Amino acid sequence: MSGPSTYEPKTGFTKWLDARLPIVRLGWDSFVDFPTPRNLNYWYTFGGILSVCLVIQIITGIVLAMHYVPHIDHAFASVQRIDRDVNFGWLIRSIHAVGASMFFLAVYMHIFRGLYYGSYKAPRELLWILGVVIYLLMMAAAFLGYVLPWGQMSYWGAMVITNLLGAFPIIGGPITEWLWGGFSVGNATLNRFFSLHYLIPFLIAGVVALHIWALHVPGNNNPTGIEVKSNRDTLPFHPYYTSKDGFAIALFMVIFAFFVFYWPDALGHSDNFIPADPLVTPALIVPEWYLLPFYAILRAVPDKLGGVLLMFGSIGILFVLPWLDTSKVRSMRYRPLARWFFGFFVIACLGLGWAGAELPDTLVPGLGALGVDFLLLGRVLTVYYFAYFLVILPLLGFVEKPSERPASIEASVLGGSSKSAPAAAPAE
């Protein structure tokens, strides 16, 4: 997709610069003239939204680090001080905390978009894998950041998650002590978690650069899943997609601002307003909403090590997805069976999130009469989650008869076949 560069420096300075550091050319080729399929819908705007989220988190995070104290005796109070005493601290902390949830909301849309339109398939496997790496780093950053306010949920979340590593035989014990820097979650742990929480966003930014690089080699996938065949299939990124992304970002910011200004604590947990107490565990420990599905998978297995392995496996499986889906058709728009299974998959993920938020013994509303509790619900949905990747997608490629696809991207937008209409009208 990266054709010959069309950038032409006009002024003396840009000519001088272009011969020495062609950075303006890089920007022009990547974000102005970059040929982009003309049929991208709003599901394709989450990439841009995610870039904005990352920048927001880094800027607000750097500011918060100027006021936060990573010590077990001061951390909780310093966060309260940011909220009450620091000028606009309430605003910046709220943007950072809500921003984490918004980041995950956007990344889930982005991932489901990729799953539906087959964006993980050749030649975009590495692009997809880099995306999964970013997602893993995001989860690490979110977990570490949640520990920093040093409330009850911070402390016990850290306790439960670090204890997961203890499940591994022989190395488990030494590794958890190494991670804690003591015999339990304590000051050493908080200090290093702060350091790592500051590090990870910059790692994410680095992998994002690779992600965009890997995107710009084959170019964007699109809702038809058909490769770009001619320049009639594409539009320059600017102004077409800068304005489309810009509009989506504006809408997203409205939702973002609603939470920041009107409901800042809705996505957190009230127990985190109690300072951490190593002697008392809250009655119900739950992770943040965006990690609940994995928590449900962890609890679905009665064995500690088995649960931990399955939970890591549920993300690890995404790395090999490009080779599990055997269908030659990319987009599920033309896969009549796969789209149903995908729909159930989305429901299963939401259901796992619900199961993760409730106590395992609680009966599921509506299904309680059948004796279905959240543990059973979690188990059934865990089976479906793995079956989707390990059984359904590998088999569907052989049994499914895909529906008819348009001849080209241009034809899918303008109707008819691009071959029979060589002088097609402009898109708008």
Partner 1 sequence: MTEATQTNGAHGEEPSRRDFIYIATGGTLAVGGAFTIWPFIDQMNPAADVLALASTEVNISELEEGQEITVIYRESPHFVRRRTAAEVESARDVNVASLPDRDARNFNLGDGAPATDENRSALTAEIAEGVEIDDALRASLLVTSANCTHLGCVPTEGAGDYNAWFCPCHGSHYDTSGRIRRGPAPENLSIPIMTFISASVLRLG
Confirm or reject binding of residue 280 to partner 1 (CB under 8 A).
yes
- Give the binding range for partner 1 (CB under 8 A) out of 128-136, 160-168, 394-402, 417-425: 160-168
Instruction: State the binding string over 97-136 for partner 1 (x if CB under 8 A, else -).
Output: ----------------------------------------
Q: Which is nearer to partner 1, 162 or 224 (CB)?
A: 162
Q: Which is nearer to partner 1, 47 or 307 (CB)?
A: 307
Confirm or reject binding of residue 275 to partner 1 (CB under 8 A).
no
Confirm or reject binding of residue 307 to partner 1 (CB under 8 A).
yes
Q: Which is nearer to partner 1, 93 or 299 (CB)?
A: 299
Confirm or reject binding of residue 303 to partner 1 (CB under 8 A).
yes
- Give the binding range for partner 1 (CB under 8 A) out of 87-95, 300-308, 310-318, 402-410: 300-308
Confirm or reject binding of residue 281 to partner 1 (CB under 8 A).
yes
Q: Shortest distance, CB of residue 355 to partner 1, whole angstroms?
A: 13
- DSSP of 21-42: -THHHHHHHHHTS-EEETT--G
Q: Which is nearer to partner 1, 280 or 320 (CB)?
A: 280
Alpha-carbon distance 166 to 408, whole Å? 53
Q: Which is nearer to partner 1, 361 or 404 (CB)?
A: 361
Q: Of these, 14, 30, 80, 163, which contacts partner 1 (CB under 8 A)? A: 163
Site for partner 1 in 337-396 (CB under 8 A): 360-361
Instruction: State the binding string over 9-28 for partner 1 (x if CB under 8 A, else -).
Output: --------------------
Alpha-carbon distance 291 to 312, whole Å? 12
- Give the binding range for partner 1 (CB under 8 A) out of 122-130, 226-234, 258-266, 296-304: 296-304
Q: Shortest distance, CB of residue 186 to partner 1, whole angstroms?
A: 5
Confirm or reject binding of residue 299 to partner 1 (CB under 8 A).
yes
Q: Which is nearer to partner 1, 80 or 187 (CB)?
A: 187
* 3-state SS, one letter per residue, for the chain: CCCCCCCCCCCHHHHHHHHHCCHHHHHHHHHCCCEEECCCCHHHHHHHHHHHHHHHHHHHHHHHHCCCCCCCCCHHHHHHHHHHCCCCHHHHHHHHHHHHHHHHHHHHHHHHHHHHCCCCCCCCHHHHHHHHHHHHHHHHHHHHHHHCCCEHHHHHHHHHHHHHHCCCCCCHHHHHHHHHCCCCCCHHHHHHHHHHHHHHHHHHHHHHHHHHHHHHCCCCCCCCCCCCCCHHHEEEHHHHHHHHHHHHHHHHHHHHHHHHHHCCCCCCCHHHHCECCCCCCCCCCCCCHHHHHHHHHHHHCCCHHHHHHHHHHHHHHHHHHHHHCCCCCCCHHHCCCHHHHHHHHHHHHHHHHHHHHCCCCCECCCCHHHCCEHHHHHHHHHHHHHHHHHHHHHHHHHHCCCCCCCCCHHHHHHCCCCCCCCCCCCCC
Q: Which is nearer to partner 1, 14 or 191 (CB)?
A: 191
Q: Shortest distance, CB of residue 308 to partner 1, whole angstroms?
A: 10
Alpha-carbon distance 331 to 339, whole Å? 9
Alpha-carbon distance 41 to 390, whole Å? 29
Q: Which is nearer to partner 1, 3 or 278 (CB)?
A: 278
Torsion from C-alpha of 66, 83, 205, 145, nearest 10 degrees: 100
Q: Shortest distance, CB of residue 39 to partner 1, whole angstroms?
A: 48
Q: Which is nearer to partner 1, 176 or 234 (CB)?
A: 176
Instruction: State the binding string over 164-203 for partner 1 (x if CB under 8 A, else -).
Output: x------------xxxxxxxx-x-x---x-----------
* Chain-centroid distance, C-alpha 341: 21
Torsion from C-alpha of 342, 388, 350, 99, nearest 10 degrees: -90
3-class state of residue 234 by DSSP: strand
- Give the binding range for partner 1 (CB under 8 A) out of 130-138, 152-160, 250-258, 408-416: 152-160
Q: Of these, 104, 135, 156, 334, which contacts partner 1 (CB under 8 A)? A: 156
Q: Which is nearer to partner 1, 59 or 160 (CB)?
A: 160
Q: Shortest distance, CB of residue 379 to partner 1, whole angstroms?
A: 13
Residues binding partner 1: what is the number (CB under 8 A)? Answer: 32
Confirm or reject binding of residue 242 to partner 1 (CB under 8 A).
no
| Binding footprint of partner 1 on the chain (CB under 8 A) | 156, 159-160, 162-164, 177-184, 186, 188, 192, 278-281, 283-285, 299, 302-305, 307, 360-361
